[in-house]
């Protein structure tokens, strides 16, 4: 494994060779720190010490008709997650304001479901237009499921500059995790939003029983699609989903996966997304040597770590919060996860996944 050669390729904006990517994943744990250091040189070359903070707003939770086996919101899942129809405009507004006050430069509006109807597309476009008027400096990302170019164009006109739709896994593995739609449907959505003038945000989920070859396949497929942001998720094995028994990831394995993604995508945003806290645990500071983007706070159906801990981690490493709200993000106390005596996860399921019990859409009684 020639890490120096990989660095030379990557700092020129070129992906490392496929065989090199496979070597990174197959490496012993003892090689993890040198691999992270190599990926870190590339991350710093293109992005310096900036960290982009992302804030999720779950517009509609649960009740999805798709059968994605990894998802706590999917058809057939009995996971004890929030289930609610669309948030009202003021709930969205309050959550957005909280996220920006905590340092977020990207707001991600997410709704469960196969894809938005014309009416739902118009509804999200209205929310986006308001946020764009009030915070024109903030990046706006939508994640609404399968999308065609016409609906993508409506969102683009409203102010969406990024659309998230993950490939999740390789074509060869896709039938093992979902049967209600296919890999090609997801790839078509990525292409449609790009044609509409929106930057595609698309990534993967590791830890679903895929092989090293399949992890490399999906990572290179994302490069070929020209995505502008790559979220790397690590499976949260929610009790009540068919992948609840998958516990194959270690902190070192996760760091090597992140490093592989960085060296295949040297010059685009790589985000450590869901599963960071659950799987990487005490090694989380090393994530920022590789990824230049994280979520601050809670995810869709699971709770993240206290916001103050992440902000302190960024500062202690000599990194800085990038973009809108960055000044506030260095000092904010947050919304109950970031202040003195910050609440730890309110409830863990049988797999140890912290279930979301706060934020918009949660009855106040459930947060006490």
Ramachandran region, residue 145 (left: φ > 0; alpha: ψ -120 to 50; beta: rest): left
pLDDT above 90: residue 367: no
87 touches 361 (CB < 8 A): yes
pLDDT digit string, tens, across residues 127-185: 999 999 999 999 999 999 999 999 999 999 999 999 999 999 999 999 999 999 999 99
70 touches 275 (CB < 8 A): no
pLDDT above 90: residue 366: no
For β-strands 204-206 and 50-60, DSSP reports them as unpaired
Question: What share of the chain has pLDDT > 70, as a percent?
Answer: 92
85 touches 283 (CB < 8 A): no
In this predicted structure, which of 28-42, 73-87, 330-344 has the lowest mean pLDDT? 330-344
pLDDT above 60: residue 326: no
- DSSP character at residue 110: E
Can you tell me the distance from the alpha carbon of 263 to that of 365, in angstroms, rounded to the nearest whole number? Answer: 46
The pair of three-digit structure tokens given for residue 324, joined into one six-digit string = 């809108």
Can you tell me the distance from the alpha carbon of 8 to that of 4, in angstroms, rounded to the nearest whole number? Answer: 6
Can you tell me the distance from the alpha carbon of 105 to that of 35, in angstroms, rounded to the nearest whole number? Answer: 29
Confidence of residue 58 (pLDDT cuts 50, 70, 90): very high
Strand partners, 332: none
What's the whole-number mean pLDDT along residues 92-106?
A: 94
Confidence of residue 340 (pLDDT cuts 50, 70, 90): very low
How many beta carbons lie within 10 A of that of residue 122, not counting itself?
14
What's the whole-number mean pLDDT along residues 54-62?
A: 95
- 10 Å CB burial of residue 1 (0-12, 13-18, 19+) is middle
- DSSP character at residue 274: T
pLDDT digit string, tens, across residues 175-215: 999 999 999 999 999 999 999 999 999 999 999 999 999 99
């Amino acid at each position: 494994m020639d890490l120096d050669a990989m660095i030379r390729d990557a700092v020129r904006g070129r992906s490392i060779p496929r065989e090199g990517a496979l070597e990174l994943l197959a490496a012993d744990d003892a090689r993890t720190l040198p691999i992270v250091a190599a990926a870190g040189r590339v991350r710093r070359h293109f992005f310096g010490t900036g960290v982009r903070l992302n804030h999720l707003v779950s517009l509609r939770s649960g009740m999805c008709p798709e059968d994605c086996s990894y998802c706590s919101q999917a058809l057939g899942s009995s996971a004890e997650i929030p289930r609610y129809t669309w948030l009202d405009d003021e709930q969205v507004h309050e959550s957005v304001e909280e996220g920006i006050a905590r340092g977020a430069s990207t707001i991600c509006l997410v709704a469960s479901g196969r894809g938005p109807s014309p009416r739902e597309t118009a509804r999200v476009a209205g929310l986006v237009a308001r946020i764009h008027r009030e915070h024109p400096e903030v990046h706006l990302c939508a994640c609404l499921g399968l999308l065609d170019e016409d609906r993508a164009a409506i969102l683009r006109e409203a102010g969406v500059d990024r659309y998230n739709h993950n490939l999740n896994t390789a074509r060869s593995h896709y039938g093992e995790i979902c049967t209600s739609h296919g890999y090609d449907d997801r790839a078509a959505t990525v292409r449609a939003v790009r044609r509409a003038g929106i930057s595609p945000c698309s990534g993967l989920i590791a830890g679903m029983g895929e092989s090293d070859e399949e992890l490399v396949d999906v990572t290179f497929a994302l490069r070929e699609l020209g995505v502008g942001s790559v979220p790397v998720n690590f499976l949260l094995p929610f009790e009540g989903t068919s992948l609840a028994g998958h516990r194959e990831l270690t902190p070192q394995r996760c760091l090597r996966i992140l490093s592989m993604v960085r060296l295949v995508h040297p010059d685009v945003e790589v985000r450590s997304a869901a599963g960071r806290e659950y799987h990487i645990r005490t090694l989380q500071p090393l994530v920022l040597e590789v990824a230049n983007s994280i979520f601050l706070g809670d995810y869709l159906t699971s709770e993240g770590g206290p916001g103050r801990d992440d902000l302190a981690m960024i500062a202690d490493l000599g990194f800085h919060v990038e973009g809108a709200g960055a000044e506030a993000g260095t000092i904010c106390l947050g919304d109950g996860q970031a202040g003195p005596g910050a609440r730890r996860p309110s409830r863990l399921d049988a797999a140890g996944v912290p279930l979301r019990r706060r934020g918009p859409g949660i009855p106040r009684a459930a947060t006490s």
